[in-house]
């Protein structure tokens, strides 16, 4: 009788062990899902309006400024995207030091006109509403400009670009310097959005929140939020968005050290 009891206890232990093992495997598979719709995009905040995005196939530098040392360990960029001519988006010394001999540089004509011919071997001029496609990648140039009368001098319509990067079944929006323009509010199917908010140059946290609530990205990253009087209140932005649409995840990263 005792032997039978021990056999049952051993069998029950094996069964429980196998069940827990299967559960652990299931969780592990979910966490490392490699289906085409769940490929991760790494976000590396550098400073202010400068960031690095890394997909499975490509590395993107967005508005690289501040010196090449800031990009140590980031890998060689396949693409550099520049939004506008101002110094917090375009820095020729940084571009020279990065060695872009195997990089495609994408920028509007106003930026290209300021670059030395030797800055990169591959240069693509994109103006508002232009597209660039190669392999499994598409880059759309989105208008960026000011709406308020007193701010029109900062970013006139047609000079600079925001961008939508289409990669790995994801759509990633980079606002550049802009206010809550109709072209932003009308964006569709955005998975990740990087949205500026700083006065007097772009827009308030409330205007940014209002636009985000219109185009409903899955994730929004406040960036480029240092203004004339210091940093904008990104916590207030997060609270405004989350209170009205909790499905939008607001991601607060460290953009300023």
Distance of CA 54 to the CA centre of its chain: 10
Return d(Cα 95, Cα 82) in angstroms, integer: 11
Q: Are 211 and 185 in contact (CB under 8 A)?
A: yes
Alpha-carbon distances of 7 from 4, 13, 16, 19, 203, rounded to whole Å:
5, 10, 14, 18, 72
Q: Are 220 and 250 in contact (CB under 8 A)?
A: yes
Residue whose structure tokens are 């094996």:
14
What's the distance, Cα to Cα, between the start and end of the chain in Å?
71
Which segments in the chain show pLDDT lower than 70?
A: 1-38
Residue 249: predicted pLDDT: 98
Residue 37: predicted pLDDT: 57
Q: DSSP labels for the chain? A: -HHHHHHHHHHHHHHHHHHHHHHHHHHHHHHT--SGGG---EEEEEETTEEEEE-SS-EEEES--S-GGGGTTS---SEEE---SSTTT--HHHHHHH-EEEEEEEE-HHHHTTS-TTSEEEEEE--TT-EEEETTEEEEEEEE---SGGGTTTS-TTTEEEEEEEETTEEEEE--S--S-HHHHT--S-SEEEE---TTTS--HHHHHHHHHHH--SEEEE---EETTEE--HHHHHHHHHHH-TTSEE-------
Distance of CA 70 to the CA centre of its chain: 18
């Amino acid at each position: 009788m005792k032997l039978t009891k021990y056999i049952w206890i051993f069998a029950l232990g094996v069964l429980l062990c196998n069940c827990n093992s299967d559960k652990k495997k299931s969780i592990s598979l979910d966490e490392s899902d490699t289906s085409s719709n769940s490929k991760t995009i790494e976000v590396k905040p550098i400073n202010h309006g400068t960031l690095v995005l890394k997909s499975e196939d490509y590395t993107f530098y967005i508005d690289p400024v501040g010196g090449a040392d800031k990009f140590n360990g980031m890998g060689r960029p396949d693409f550099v995207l520049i939004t506008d001519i101002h110094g917090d988006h375009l820095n020729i010394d940084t571009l020279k030091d990065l060695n872009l001999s195997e990089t495609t540089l994408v920028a509007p004509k106003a930026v290209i006109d300021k670059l030395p011919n030797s800055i990169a071997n591959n240069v693509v001029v994109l103006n508002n509403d232009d597209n660039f496609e190669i392999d499994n990648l598409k880059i759309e140039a989105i208008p960026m400009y000011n709406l308020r009368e007193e701010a029109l001098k900062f970013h006139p319509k047609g000079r600079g670009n925001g961008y939508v990067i289409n990669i790995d079944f994801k759509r990633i929006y980079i606002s550049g310097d802009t206010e809550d323009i109709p072209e932003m509010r009308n964006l569709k199917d955005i998975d990740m959005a990087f949205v500026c908010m700083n006065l007097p140059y772009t827009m308030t946290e409330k205007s940014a929140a209002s636009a985000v609530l219109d185009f409903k990205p899955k994730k929004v990253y406040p960036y480029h939020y240092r203004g004339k009087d210091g940093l904008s209140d990104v916590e207030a932005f997060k609270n405004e968005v989350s209170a009205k649409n909790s499905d939008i995840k607001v991601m607060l990263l460290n953009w300023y050290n």
